[in-house]
Chain A
Amino acid sequence: MTDSDKWKKINKSVKERPKVQEYKNWKELPPIPISLPIDGSMGTTGDWRTFRPIISDGCNQCGMCWMYCPEGVITRMEDGSFKIDLKYCKGCGICAKECPSNSIDMIRESEIKDD
């Protein structure tokens, strides 16, 4: 009765190993609980938001919002502008508060009409 080989894949390189481990029963499990890094480890945390940050035209691309965002969901695009990943943004409001040019508005989610 030896350990099943299914779990040994997690020892391989990042490219070869599964993104998320799936096991059916105790026989397939590895001996110790190992977790693999993935975005959204707690699910789509964007659902937590009550207010959504929206970057308006006054943005002068200073990067302060990117610097202060706790979640790291603000990325700088190729053209220098900044984009907020709404899938994971928790709506804490730090970016809006810290923006020196007040160019980020926190709009209530329920008031936004999604297309």
Chain B
Amino acid sequence: MIESQKDFVQKKETLIMKGNLAAAYAAKSARVQVISAYPITPQTTVVEKLSEFVDNGEMPGTQYIKVESEHSVFAAVIGASKAGTRTFTATAGQGIFYAHEMIHWAAGSRLPIVVSIASRGAAPPWNIWADFTDVISQRDTGWLSSFCATHQEIYDEILMSYKVCEDPDILLPKFIAYGGFILSHTSKPVILEEQHLVDKFLPPLPSEEGWPHIWIDPKRPMMFGNLIMPSGFYYEFRMKLHDAFIRAKEKIKSVAKEFEKTFGRDYGNGLIQEYKMNDAEVGVIIYGDLALQMEQAVDDLKEEGYKVGMVKLRHFRPFPSEDIVEVAKKVKLLGVIDRATAFGSQTGGPVSCEVKSALHNTQGTANILPIINGLGGREVTLDQQKNQLKMLVKLFETGEIPKDIIHGTLWDGLLEVE
């Protein structure tokens, strides 16, 4: 072990902490080397906690860059990652939109950057509460993205993500999104793992050279990212990004398995997590914090005799089409619940569009009802979720169309002021 690494003395402990702090602790456990920071609600406490760690000496050698905008946050992290270090940052909502240019750049540069996102709604109107539109809007940039339903999952997903992203055959950046204020500012117990076990699962960067691949080294000068004519390999370089995504599916599954073996926490197959789908007739696909509450709704309804189940979608990119097809063969009707928008698409909800296209060519799979709820942090209660399930069951059994269907999608929970 290198001298400097003896300073990390995280022991296994369970602390009660907010979701944002779980992200900060995960970055510390992952031994990130460069962090760039800019505040934005609701992720600010992530970078505040990291600043505390760095100033306290709990992350020796880590460079903490206080930049002046989110565009620069991503630019700094891209530069640092290119030079061969493990990097981390956090942002949300408007910050992602401002940095959009650099988000494309990071993916095209194939840099394994991990960013935690405390998702918030898009402005205008101003909104700082849970809504995954910000992450989903980056779907075509070439970043992997996943959603967290629990505080523990934030910590675990960050550790798993570095392992996936830094694989020499993958090399893609990743967003880890969780609901702003719902997970970021509520407290739950989170298990922090022992450092040497984390180091075994996720080794610090192995040699003084950093990545086993391209980097900035005066002994071997090279130029990165210059012009390529249309007749040159531009098309092929971009195509390789998609190829890496498809390979990432297998890697995510194998890392999730390894994580379970090392730390004992199970996250389905990594891409999706099924819950009581085996004897269900009607199911829902759901992601984010609402998935946790939906488990309770499924349990309650099963006690009443309903045959329902749910699938927690963990990764949006790469989209687990094969797993969704298998799940859709188990039930007759699937509700796909989005907490984000895809304006002008066939359903208005991004995940429901992806599910529909995944099932396109397959026979014997469930019908789909797209559902959207909870935009801009609108509260979705347990009762509301139970009603969603009941409504789906009714639709399946009697064919009764729910009353809030607008343009083919159920916009659940729209206000009607008396």
Give the bracket for the number of chain B residues in contact with chain A. 20 to 34
Interface membership of A25, Cβ < 8 A: yes
CA A30 – CA B226 in complex, angstroms? 14
Q: From B212-220, B319-327, B328-336, give the one contacting chain A.
A: B212-220
CA A8 – CA B302 in complex, angstroms? 55
From residue 233 to 254 of chain B, which have CB atoms closer than 8 A to chain A?
233, 236-237, 239-240, 243-244, 246-247
Interface membership of A56, Cβ < 8 A: no
Q: Are B228 and A34 closer than 8 Å at their CB atoms?
A: no
Q: Are B214 and A11 closer than 8 Å at their CB atoms?
A: yes
Q: Are A32 and B220 closer than 8 Å at their CB atoms?
A: no
A40: shortest Cβ distance to chain B, in Å?
A: 15
Known: A1-B243, A23-B233, A26-B236. A31 touches B222 (CB 8 A): no
CA A31 – CA B228 in complex, angstroms? 14
Known: A2-B169, A2-B247, A11-B214. A35 touches B240 (CB 8 A): no
A38: shortest Cβ distance to chain B, in Å?
A: 11
Q: Are A10 and B214 closer than 8 Å at their CB atoms?
A: yes
Instruction: Tell me the nearest residue of chain A to B225, going by C-beta.
Output: A33
Interface membership of A54, Cβ < 8 A: no
Residues of B within 8 A of A36 (CB): 222-223
A115: shortest Cβ distance to chain B, in Å?
A: 37
From residue 29 to 54 of chain A, which have CB atoms closer than 8 A to chain B?
29-37
Main secondary structure of the interface of A (DSSP, over half): loop
CA A26 – CA B372 in complex, angstroms? 40
CA A40 – CA B110 in complex, angstroms? 28
User: Which of the residues A8, A26, A32 comes within 8 Å of B224, measured between beta carbons?
Assistant: A32
> Which 10 residue pairs spanning A and B have beta carbons closest together?
A26-B236, A35-B223, A31-B110, A32-B110, A2-B169, A34-B222, A34-B214, A31-B171, A35-B226, A26-B239
Instruction: Tell me the nearest residue of chain A to B212, going by C-beta.
Output: A11
CA A8 – CA B212 in complex, angstroms? 9
Count of chain A residues near B, Cβ 8 A: 22
Interface membership of A20, Cβ < 8 A: no
CA A35 – CA B214 in complex, angstroms? 11
From residue 21 to 38 of chain B, which have CB atoms closer than 8 A to chain A?
none
Residues of A within 8 A of B171 (CB): 31
Q: Are B109 and A32 closer than 8 Å at their CB atoms?
A: yes
B20: shortest Cβ distance to chain A, in Å?
A: 32
B52: shortest Cβ distance to chain A, in Å?
A: 35
Interface membership of A3, Cβ < 8 A: yes
B200: shortest Cβ distance to chain A, in Å?
A: 24
Interface membership of A110, Cβ < 8 A: no
Residues of B within 8 A of A1 (CB): 243, 246-247
CA A8 – CA B108 in complex, angstroms? 18
Q: Are A17 and B237 closer than 8 Å at their CB atoms?
A: no
Instruction: Tell me the nearest residue of chain A to B232, going by C-beta.
Output: A33
Of B214, B225, B237, most buried by chain A (CB within 10 Å of CB) is: B214
B79: shortest Cβ distance to chain A, in Å?
A: 15
B318: shortest Cβ distance to chain A, in Å?
A: 14
